[in-house]
Amino acid sequence: MSTVVRVENVAKQYRLGAEVIHALRGVSLEIAAGEFVAIMGASGSGKSTLLHLTGGLDLPDAGRVLVENADLTRMPDRERTLFRRRRIGVIFQAYNLLPNLTARENVMLPLLVDGATRKLIEERASEVIRLVQLEHRAAHRPDAMSGGEQQRVAIARALLTQPAVLLADEPTGNLDPANSRMILDLLRRLSRDMGTTILMVTHEAAAASGADRVLVLSAGLLVGEVATEGRGDAALVAARYAELAR
């Protein structure tokens, strides 16, 4: 299996006045093509920081981040921006849709700004909207959709460019249990049926249990890994997580 994401000994500090916060203290991980990996950890353990660095949204103080063998930490800013736009899909807890555009228009944006042909953009948009099963909502604006539907629009938008990896930071954080379930099932299905490579941050065992494996982050360090064995067993993940994060 080819490696899509390689994070090598990454460290990140934040300075707040005189205080230095060690958000990541040397984290390494690899994600193979088609893998669905979850990262669990307490609030403040460095999950979002790790996701942002993996996606080239921010740069580490030490270490390297490679996506498809391209080193994001050595790229000129402009090149990294382009690489991110084309090869990395990101979704967040907040859906970040533009309120005045329809679902379909929101989905098309990443390729519109990239100057792709209208035909390609229309084809891809239809394809990803079908993947997230939102054909019937394509003409709706965000405020006329449920939270779960808005997150599915955000997922479709993130997949439009057929990225190397989909990064998700607490994608179900704003959703009720039924909508959370739907989003997690969708991610599982994208991984299984489409071979989408996924890295998802969450603090919920139920969410993490849908992944192929779960990495546990504690105070800026990876402290262990839980193999879910594809069973979606939330109780098992919760129990192993409690041991590791102690």
Ligand X SMILES: Nc1ncnc2c1ncn2[C@@H]1O[C@H](COP(=O)(O)OP(=O)(O)OP(=O)(O)O)[C@@H](O)[C@H]1O
Residues in touch with ligand X (CB under 6 A) = 14, 16, 21, 23, 41, 43-49, 203
Nearer to ligand X, 43 or 117 (CB): 43
Nearer to ligand X, 94 or 112 (CB): 94
Q: How far is CA 191 from CA 15, 59, 132, 227, in A?
A: 37, 27, 13, 16
Nearer to ligand X, 102 or 151 (CB): 151
* End-to-end CA, the chain: 33
Least spacing, CB of residue 241 vs ligand X, in Å: 14
48 is a site residue for Mg ion (CB under 5 A):
yes
Helices (H), the chain: 47-54, 77-87, 103-112, 118-131, 147-159, 177-194, 205-208, 234-244
Least spacing, CB of residue 18 vs ligand X, in Å: 13
43 contact choice in Mg ion, ligand X, none (CB below 5 to 8 Å, kind-dependent): ligand X
Size of residue set near Mg ion by CB under 5 A: 2
Beta-sheet pairing, 19-32 with 198-202? unpaired
16 contact choice in Mg ion, ligand X, none (CB below 5 to 8 Å, kind-dependent): ligand X
Closest CA to 6 of 71, 88, 57: 71
Closest CA to 112 of 92, 137, 85, 130: 85
Least spacing, CB of residue 74 vs ligand X, in Å: 23
Which spans of this chain sit near Mg ion (rule: CB under 5 A)?
Answer: 47-48
